[in-house]
């Protein structure tokens, strides 16, 4: 507990903490919107570069690969650097890469830039979690992580519709310039409001021994299957709403925004659940996701019930995301700084797998098949979540001089696990 006491002594004032968390929230929202905005302007990008829509979809794939692979690599390479500097550098390079992307007429260069931008977002995410852990008392770590993650949820809820609106008005290059402008604001906020965050005392090789321990990999696997279950359904939600529920036109956006709003609310509340009992939150959330998908399949033709189920679906999903992050950090122990970048990698691999599995299902069996596919995967998450609740952090202390994130009691104590 010495680390927790040291953490509380050095935490900034509540007002400064709130400003820092607001900056990190904005950063996650802007960078997350930059990831998602291409979805709403794929047709315009395809026409501008004279490529097919299918080829333009590669922009989504290479970005996900940048997050999943490039993010942890950059995190490892900067493990000994002061984290405020890392955050500022990541945002500054994000600005440059998006600016070049908005101006280029080379599709090959555009693809490379999307990979780099994804890697920079992964680096920012890891640094943001580290900063969030440092600026709050130990008992509020879960809530702080929930606030940071809610920026991603808001990007999912608003990033695509806003990006589409700007893209339709100013063109896809205009939407990229809007992201550049937002990132500049984030950069200013990072420089002005984020406190100094000390680097890890140990190098990447030492931290990797803890970050890739079997207990951490088990929770990362849970992260993978949770996102697989969600995106097996979510990727093909519009065909389900159109063909099964009978929702078309502008009402599709209303249903999707309802889901997106629920994810944002869930991420805020999920931070509190992570502080109280992260292990139990994972079990309850996994059950909630499975039940939501089952009910969605059963009442899919009744629009008002589908709307309610989508709200529950979004709440259950994002209510456990902070707990997944908290458990990985806690179980990694002295490898927590490196491990903070791994959940987003597991999530993106899960998104890719879930979208693939749902695509195979809808091609063979129709619009309801992705819901069943997601349900099957979601059922698997329940025993996995239960089993990971018994995992304990490493008993050996961090090496002298190593700055490891303080860990909430809910994530580390025996009482916190079922």
Residue 201: which pLDDT band, with cuts at 50, 70 and 90? low
**pLDDT tens digits, residue range 207-247?**
888 999 999 999 999 999 999 999 889 878 888 998 999 98
Predicted confidence at residue 416, as pLDDT, reads 39
Residue 114: which of 37, 159, 59 has the closest Cα? 59
What are phi and psi for residue 212, nearest 5 degrees? -110, 25
Residue 22 has pLDDT above 90, yes or no: yes
**pLDDT tens digits, residue range 329-366?**
899 988 888 888 899 889 988 888 888 888 889 889 99
Distance in angstroms (rounded) separating the CA atoms of residues 167 and 144: 33
CA 365 and chain centroid, separation: 30
**pLDDT tens digits, residue range 361-401?**
988 999 999 999 999 999 999 999 999 999 999 876 443 33
**pLDDT tens digits, residue range 45-91?**
888 999 886 677 778 778 888 988 999 899 889 988 898 999 999 99
**pLDDT tens digits, residue range 275-321?**
889 999 999 999 999 999 999 999 999 999 999 999 999 999 989 99
| CATH superfamily of domain region 201-394+401-418 | MFS general substrate transporter like domains (1.20.1250.20)
Exposure string for 208-218, b = 16+ CB within 10 A, e = fewer: bebbebebbbb
Exposure string for 282-317, b = 16+ CB within 10 A, e = fewer: bbbbbbbbbbbbbbbbeebeeeeebbebbbbbbbbb
Average pLDDT for the chain: 85
Where do the CATH 1.20.1250.20 domains begin and end in the chain?
1-199, 201-394+401-418
CATH of range 1-199; options 3.30.460.80, 1.10.10.1100, 1.20.1250.20, 3.40.50.720? 1.20.1250.20
């Amino acid at each position: 507990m010495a680390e927790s006491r040291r953490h509380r002594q050095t935490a900034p004032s509540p007002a400064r903490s709130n400003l820092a968390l607001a900056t990190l929230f904005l950063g996650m929202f802007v960078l997350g919107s930059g990831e998602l905005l291409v979805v709403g302007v794929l047709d315009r990008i395809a026409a501008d570069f004279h490529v097919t829509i299918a080829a333009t979809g590669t922009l989504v794939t290479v970005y996900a690969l940048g997050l999943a692979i490039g993010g942890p690599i950059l995190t490892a390479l900067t493990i000994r650097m002061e984290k405020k500097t890392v955050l500022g550098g990541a945002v500054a390079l994000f600005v440059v890469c998006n600016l070049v992307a908005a101006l280029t007429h080379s599709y090959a260069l555009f693809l490379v830039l999307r990979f780099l931008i994804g890697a920079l977002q992964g680096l920012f995410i890891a640094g943001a979690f580290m900063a969030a852990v440092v600026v709050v008392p130990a008992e509020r770590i879960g809530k702080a992580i929930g606030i940071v993650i809610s920026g991603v949820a808001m990007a999912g809820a608003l990033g695509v519709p806003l990006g589409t609106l700007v893209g339709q008005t100013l063109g896809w290059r205009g939407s990229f310039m809007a992201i550049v402008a937002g990132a500049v604001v984030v950069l200013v906020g990072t420089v002005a409001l984020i406190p100094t965050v000390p680097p890890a005392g140990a190098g990447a090789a030492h931290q990797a021994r803890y970050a890739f321990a079997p207990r951490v990999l088990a929770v990362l696997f849970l992260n993978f299957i949770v996102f697989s279950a969600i995106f097996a359904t979510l990727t093909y939600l519009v065909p389900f709403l159109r063909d099964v529920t009978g929702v078309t036109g502008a009402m599709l956006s209303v249903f999707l925004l309802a889901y997106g709003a629920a994810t944002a609310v869930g991420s805020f509340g999920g931070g509190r659940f992570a502080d109280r009992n992260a292990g139990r939150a994972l079990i309850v959330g996994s059950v909630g996701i499975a039940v939501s998908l089952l009910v969605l399949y059963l009442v899919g033709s009744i629009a008002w019930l589908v709307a309610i189920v989508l709200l529950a679906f979004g709440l259950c999903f994002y209510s456990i995301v902070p707990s997944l992050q908290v458990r990985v950090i806690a179980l990694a122990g002295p490898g927590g700084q490196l491990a903070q970048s791994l959940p987003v990698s597991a999530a993106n691999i899960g998104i890719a797998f879930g979208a693939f599995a749902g695509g195979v299902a809808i091609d063979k069996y129709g619009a309801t098949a992705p819901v069943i596919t997601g349900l099957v995967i979601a059922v698997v998450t329940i025993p996995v979540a239960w089993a990971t609740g018994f995992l304990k952090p490493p008993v050996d202390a961090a090496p002298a001089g190593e700055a490891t994130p303080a860990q909430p009691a809910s994530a580390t104590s025996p009482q916190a696990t079922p």
